[in-house]
């Protein structure tokens, strides 16, 4: 009887030690790879209770400060201003707005300048141009100029032979051109004066009406336009006219570089 009681008591101690060695279901196993380990159930219950509690005055002040930091009417207006070229943080935002638009407008110009020829003597040229711009970057132009033509190198020979081989004349020129102005710029002349302008390229063809010219005239060049007022602009063109020409029985393709300046008047 005593033996049976001792055996039962020993088995009870063994089973109790095994039960105490295992973790309870309510205890969370800590993660060795996570800082601070896993939160216990008591901590979770405590945090849940904190969430249900009303926010303090400090928390309400922080929330109100966060709401004030959001975009307001003034920041929205500032963003719209940036699209017009306002500087923020030292950097330019958006694209500069043009104060002069050419689209669907006509330009009537008066031009004049210097005419330098390969085969003939340098002279002057003057005339006018009419342009139409179907878009802001592309335009179509008709240029008409008048230039006196002569060959001054022949004067020394004519003084001996008393014969004139090249007759001076007046050359009329009509050129149809396509204009492309991809670059819009601003020029600062004084602290208060900033003028908008365009850099453009031009190419075209036409005729030069003179006895020495044998065929079509081809043209290529570049230019600059400054918009002085709402309806007035200043232009400066540098163009090269290539044309077949006969001078004193010799045929050749000549380059005729012309520098033209003038004023343009805009309509519509």
Residue 234 has what pLDDT?
A: 96
Report residue 225 as tokens.
């336009």
Handedness of CA 191, 193, 196, 201 (dihedral sign): negative
Distances (CA, A) of 238 to 19, 160, 201: 102, 39, 10
Residue 69 has what pLDDT?
A: 53
Please state the pTM of the whole predicted model.
0.60
Question: Tokens 């540098």 label which residue?
Answer: 238
Residue 135 has what pLDDT?
A: 93
SS3 145: strand
Residue 65 has what pLDDT?
A: 47
Q: How far is CA 187 from the centre of its chain?
A: 16
Distance CA 120, CA 153 (A): 9
Distances (CA, A) of 177 to 22, 95, 114, 202: 96, 29, 20, 6
Rg of the chain taking only CA atoms, in angstroms: 44
Residue 31 has what pLDDT?
A: 54
Residue 152 has what pLDDT?
A: 57
Q: Which residues touch 207 (CB under 8 Å, ≥6 apart)?
A: 173, 174, 213, 216, 217
The 10 Å CB-count burial string (b at 16+, else e) for 12-29 is eeeeeeeeeeeeeeeeee
In terms of Cβ atoms closer than 10 Å to its own Cβ (0-12, 13-18, 19+), residue 207 is: middle
Nearest CA among 227, 230, 165, 217 for reference residue 197:
227
The strand ranges marked E within the chain are 87-88, 91-92, 105-117, 123-133, 138-149, 169-188, 194-209, 216-227, 232-247, 250-267
- Give the pairing of strands 194-209 and 169-188: antiparallel
Per-residue pLDDT of the chain (268 residues; tens, 9 = 90+): 445 445 545 544 444 444 444 455 455 555 555 554 444 444 444 444 545 545 444 554 455 444 455 555 555 544 444 444 444 555 554 445 677 789 999 999 999 999 888 878 788 999 999 999 999 999 999 999 999 888 755 555 555 555 555 678 899 999 999 999 999 888 888 888 889 999 999 999 999 998 888 889 999 999 999 999 889 999 999 999 999 988 766 788 889 999 999 999 998 7
Residue 132 has what pLDDT?
A: 97
């Amino acid at each position: 009887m005593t033996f049976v009681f001792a055996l039962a008591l020993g088995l009870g101690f063994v089973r109790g030690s095994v039960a105490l060695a295992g973790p309870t279901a309510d205890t969370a196993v800590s993660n060795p790879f996570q800082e601070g380990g896993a939160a216990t159930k008591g901590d979770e219950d405590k945090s849940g209770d904190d969430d249900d509690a009303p926010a303090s005055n400090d928390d309400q002040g922080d929330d109100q400060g966060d709401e004030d930091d959001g975009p307001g009417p003034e920041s929205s207006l500032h963003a719209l201003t940036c699209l017009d070229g306002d500087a923020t943080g030292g950097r330019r935002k958006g694209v500069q707005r043009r104060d002069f638009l050419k689209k669907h407008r006509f330009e009537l110009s008066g031009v004049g300048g210097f005419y330098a020829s390969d085969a003939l003597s340098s002279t002057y040229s003057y005339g006018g141009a009419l342009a139409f711009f179907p878009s802001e970057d592309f335009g179509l132009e008709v240029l008409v100029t008048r230039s006196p033509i002569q060959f001054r190198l022949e004067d020394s020979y004519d003084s001996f032979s008393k014969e004139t081989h090249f007759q001076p004349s007046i050359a009329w020129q009509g050129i149809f051109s396509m204009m492309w102005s991809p670059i819009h710029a601003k020029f600062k002349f004084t602290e208060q004066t900033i003028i908008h302008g365009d850099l453009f390229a031009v190419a075209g063809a036409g005729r030069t009406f003179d006895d020495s010219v044998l065929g079509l005239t081809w043209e290529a060049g570049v230019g600059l336009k400054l918009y002085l007022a709402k309806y007035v602009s200043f232009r400066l063109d540098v163009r090269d006219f290539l044309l077949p020409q006969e001078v004193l029985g010799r045929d050749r393709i000549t380059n005729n570089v012309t520098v033209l300046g003038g004023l343009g008047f805009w309509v519509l």
